[in-house]
Amino acid sequence: MLSRLMVLASAALVACTPLADRVALSPVPSSLELRPLVGSAMVRTVSLPTYAAAEEIALEMADGRIAINEDVLWADEPERAVTLILTRTVGDILNTDVGPDPWPFVGLPDVSVDVRVARMLASADGTFQLNGQFYVASEAARFRDSTHSFAITEPMGDTSVRSISAAQSAALLTLAEQIAATLGR
């Protein structure tokens, strides 16, 4: 009987706890159009730092600590959302088959793109920073393997969730354009 009351009390407590709001990371369309040098490309699941891979929204404080906002969460798993945004945007720019890992098409892609993010963070100074490296590897075509560093900074109007989301989307657009430029002309 006591355990039954504890279960009911726990359920009541959970029911009273408000759910966090969720915000979607929205892709920003590119005006860039390039002629592809490859017929297809696969974007591997993007590797993010632990704080950026979490569903809570992170903000770097003035003293360097990273704080998280547990009241507002990303609507999708960040690694998945970033991978899909890069895939879609690169595909739109090149107008060719670009898909996420696992490869959704028959056969091998011509190249794979592996993105490793070292920093993806909104700062108290009003900027959003995205930096790391991406690697292009030839899978089934003659294309030179290469590595590329990126360091992207986007201004934010403030440190609100809306500003962080918009700046992150703009930074991902810039990264997608850089990736597309290595696969097209």
Tens-digit pLDDT string for the chain (185 aa):
545 544 444 444 444 556 678 888 888 999 999 999 999 999 999 999 999 999 999 999 999 999 998 888 999 999 999 999 999 999 999 999 999 999 999 999 999 999 999 999 999 899 999 999 999 999 766 889 999 999 999 999 999 999 999 999 999 999 999 999 999 99
Q: Please tell me the predicted confidence (pLDDT) of residue 25.
A: 84
Fold of 2-183: Rossmann fold (3.40.50)
Q: Which 3-state string (H, E, C) describes the chain? A: CHHHHHHHHHHHHHHHCCCCEEECCCCCCCCCCCCECCCEEEECCCECCHHHHCCEEEEECCCCCEEEEEEEEECCCHHHHHHHHHHHHHHHHHCCEEEECCCCCCCCCCEEEEEEEEEEEEECCCEEEEEEEEEEEECCCCCCCEEEEEEEEEECCCCCHHHHHHHHHHHHHHHHHHHHHHHEC
Q: Please tell me the predicted confidence (pLDDT) of residue 143.
A: 87
Q: Please tell me the predicted confidence (pLDDT) of residue 109.
A: 95
Q: Please tell me the predicted confidence (pLDDT) of residue 5.
A: 42
